[in-house]
Amino acid sequence: MTTATTATASHEHDAHHGHPTGIMRWLKSTNHKDIGLMYMIFGTTMFFVGGLLILLVRAELFMPGLQLMNPSIYNQLVTLHGLIMVFAFIMPLTTGFNNYLIPMMIGASDMALPRLNNWGFWILPPAAILLLIPFFLQFFGIGDGAASNAWTMDNVALDLQSGIGMDFTILTVHLLGISSITGAINVIVTIFNMRAPGMTLWKMPLFCWAWLVTSFMLLAVIPVLGAVVTMLLTDRHFGTHFFIASGGGDPLLFQHLLWFFGHPEVYIVLLPAWGILPGILSTFARKPVYGYKAQVCSFWAIGILGSMVWAHHMLSSGIPLAGELYFMYATMAVSIPTAVMIFCWIATIWRGSMTFETPMLFGLGMIVMFGIAGLTGLVIPDIAAYAQYHNTMYVVGHFHYPFFGGAVLGFMGATYFYMPKMTGHMYDEKLGKLHFWLTIVFFNFTFIPMMMVGLAGVPRHLADYALKYSEYQMISSVSAILLGASQLIFLYNIIKTARGNGEKATAQVWEGAQGLEFTLPSPPPYHTFTTPPEVK
Ligand code: CU1
C-alpha cells in the first residue's frame, strides 16, 4: 500500500464527516501528519521560550557580582529552562517525528489510536501554560514564583518547603505524563498491529525500533514519576510522611523514585535521535546501514541496562558502599552497547562516497558531540571522583552534550532531511550549512568553559561566582547568546521552506544522488514517502 492511496483514503473518510476548517481542523484532527506537525511546531516554539529563559541566566553569569535579578528568579529561570527543554521541547519534537514518520515507515494508514493521539497532543499546550503561570503571578504579588529546585527536583527538603510553584509543577508533570503515556501506548499498538503485510519487525527502519524501546521505557518510568510527585503533593498538603524523616518517612525514597524516572529519561530523549541518525548517514554516504541488528540490540540493551543505573545520581546521598559499587559499574556498562552503536554509525559512513549536505553535517556533528557526551559522562559516576563533580557546573556542561549535542543536533539534521518531503520545497542549503557551523562552534564554546569552571569547583544553581572564573564564564555567556541567535537562521529557513519560498523539491529528493533505498536493510517503506503531503 502506498502513501498516495492511504492519503486519498483518509481524505475520503474525512469527507463523509464534513471537513472541519480553520482552527477546528487542527483542534479535532486525528490525522497523524497533522498531529505530528502540531507536536513539531509546539516543540520548536518551546525551544525558543526555553532558550530565551536561559539567556537571561547567562546574562546574570556574564560577570561576577552582577545582580540583574534576585537569586530566586535566577533559580526559577534555570528550573523552567530545564523543565521546558526536556518536557515541552525535545519530547514533543521527537513525538512529532514519530507521529509523522512511523505510520509511513511501516505502511500503516495512521496511528492505531487516532483520537488518543489528538488528546495526547492537546494536553500539552495547557500544561506548558500551567508551568509558566506562577512565574508571572509573582510579579503581581501572587505566590512566590515558579518551581526553583532544578528540573530534577531532587532536593526533597526544598520541594516540601517551596511555594505554589511546586504545586503547579506537580500538576504539569501529571499532564505531561498522561500525554507521554498515551503517545507511548499509541506507538506500541501501531507498531505491533498496523504493519503492512510483509513488514516484519526486523524490516522496520531503526527509527521505529528506537521509538518502540522509548515507548516501553516511558510506560515503565512515567507512572513512577506520577507516583512520586503525588506522594510529594500529599506530604505537602495532606499530612502524609512519605519523605519526612521526623514522621517516619524516608527522604532517600524520594530520590530513588525520582531518579528511577530521571535517568531513563535521558535515554527517552536520546533513543529517537539514535534511531533517526543511521538513515541520514547511510543516505549521504551512499551505503547501507551497517549493523542493523546490532543497533536494534543496542537499543534494547541500553533501554534495559539504562533503567537499572538510577542511583548514580545519589552517590553522595548515603547509600551503602555495595550499592555505590553496583551503580558505578552498571553505569559504566551502558557504555558498551553505546559504543557498539557509535561504531555502527562510523562503519556506515566508512569508505562511503560522502557528500556534506546540511543533514549530513548535523549527523556527523552529532556523532562527535555524542562521543564527547559519553566520555565526559563516564567519569561522573566514578565513586572516587563523584564527590568532586557532584552539583558542579561540570555536570551541567556534560549533560548538554547528550541533550543538545545528541538529541537536538540529531533532530535539527532530521528537520533538514525530511522538510523537503514534508513541504515539497527545498530548504536553503547555504543558510542550513551556516546554521550548522555557527551552532557547533558556539555550542562548544558555551559548554566547554562550563565544564572547566565546574572542575575548578563552581557549583550549579548559584547566581554568582568568584572573580577568578570570570573569563570562562564570559566566553560561555557570549557564546550562549550567539548560539541562541544562530537558531534564528534555522527558524527563518524553516518558515521560508514551509511557506513554499524555496526551490520545489522533486519526488526524488535525497534519491538518485542520495538514494533513500539505501536507508533500509530491505524493501524500503521510504518509497511510500515520495508524494509530498499537502500542508495547509
Ligand atoms: Cu543518570
Tell me what pLDDT residue 511 has. Answer: 62
Q: Is 196 helix (H, G, I), strand (E, B) or coil?
A: coil
Q: From ligand 1's centre to the CA of 418, what distance in Å? A: 31
pLDDT at residue 24 is higher than 90: no
What's the CA gap between 396 and 420, in Å, rounded?
Answer: 35
What's the CA gap between 97 and 94, in Å, rounded?
Answer: 5
pLDDT at residue 6 is higher than 80: no
Domain boundaries, the chain: 1-204, 363-510
DSSP 49-62: HHHHHHHHHHHHTS
Q: Does domain 1-204 have CATH number 1.20.210.10?
A: yes
Question: Mean pLDDT throughout 230-254?
Answer: 94
For 90-138, write each residue's pLDDT tens digit. Answer: 999 999 999 999 998 898 889 999 999 999 999 999 999 999 999 999 9
Could you tell me how far CA 37 lies from the centroid of its own chain? 16
Q: From ligand 1's centre to the CA of 213, what distance in Å? A: 18
Question: Mean pLDDT throughout 62-80?
Answer: 91
Q: From ligand 1's centre to the CA of 313, what distance in Å? A: 6
How would residue 512 be classed by pLDDT, with cut points 50, 70 and 90?
very low
What's the CA gap between 192 and 189, in Å, rounded?
Answer: 5
Tell me what pLDDT residue 14 has. Answer: 47
Residue 171 CB burial class (10 angstroms; 0-12, 13-18, ≥19): middle
Q: From ligand 1's centre to the CA of 312, what distance in Å? A: 6
Tell me what pLDDT residue 532 has. Answer: 42
Tell me what pLDDT residue 17 has. Answer: 53
Tell me what pLDDT residue 113 has. Answer: 94
Q: From ligand 1's centre to the CA of 262, what distance in Å? A: 7
Question: Mean pLDDT throughout 30-56?
Answer: 94
For 249-273, write each residue's pLDDT tens digit. Answer: 999 999 999 999 999 999 999 999 9
Q: From ligand 1's centre to the CA of 341, what distance in Å? A: 19
What's the CA gap between 93 and 269, in Å, rounded?
Answer: 10
How would residue 508 be classed by pLDDT, with cut points 50, 70 and 90?
low
Q: Which three cell numbers stand for residue 5?
A: 492511496
pLDDT at residue 13 is higher than 70: no
CB 193 within 8 A of CB 212: no
How would residue 513 be classed by pLDDT, with cut points 50, 70 and 90?
very low
Q: From ligand 1's centre to the CA of 373, what distance in Å? A: 12
Q: From ligand 1's centre to the CA of 310, what distance in Å? A: 6
Q: From ligand 1's centre to the CA of 163, what distance in Å? A: 27
For 421-460, write each residue's pLDDT tens digit. Answer: 888 888 999 999 999 999 999 999 999 999 999 999 899 9
What is the residue-averaged pLDDT of the chain?
A: 88
pLDDT at residue 1 is higher than 70: no
Q: From ligand 1's centre to the CA of 300, what distance in Å? A: 17
Q: From ligand 1's centre to the CA of 331, what distance in Å? A: 8
Would you tell me how many other CB atoms lie within 10 Å of the CB of residue 2?
16
What's the CA gap between 145 and 46, in Å, rounded?
Answer: 20
For 333-381, write each residue's pLDDT tens digit. Answer: 999 999 999 999 999 999 988 989 999 999 999 999 999 999 999 899 9
Instruction: Produce one character per residue of 498-531: b if its CB has 16 or more CB atoms within 10 Å, e if not.
Output: beeebeebeeebbbeebbbebbbbeebbbebbbe
Q: From ligand 1's centre to the CA of 381, what distance in Å? A: 9
Q: From ligand 1's centre to the CA of 457, what distance in Å? A: 21
Q: From ligand 1's centre to the CA of 271, what distance in Å? A: 15
Q: From ligand 1's centre to the CA of 96, what distance in Å? A: 25
Q: From ligand 1's centre to the CA of 82, what distance in Å? A: 15
Q: From ligand 1's centre to the CA of 302, what distance in Å? A: 12
pTM of the model: 0.89
Q: From ligand 1's centre to the CA of 263, what distance in Å? A: 4
Would you tell me how many other CB atoms lie within 10 Å of the CB of residue 185?
18
Tell me what pLDDT residue 321 has. Answer: 93
CB 210 within 8 A of CB 271: yes
Comparing CA positions, the residue from 436, 271, 288 lying closest to residue 350 is: 288
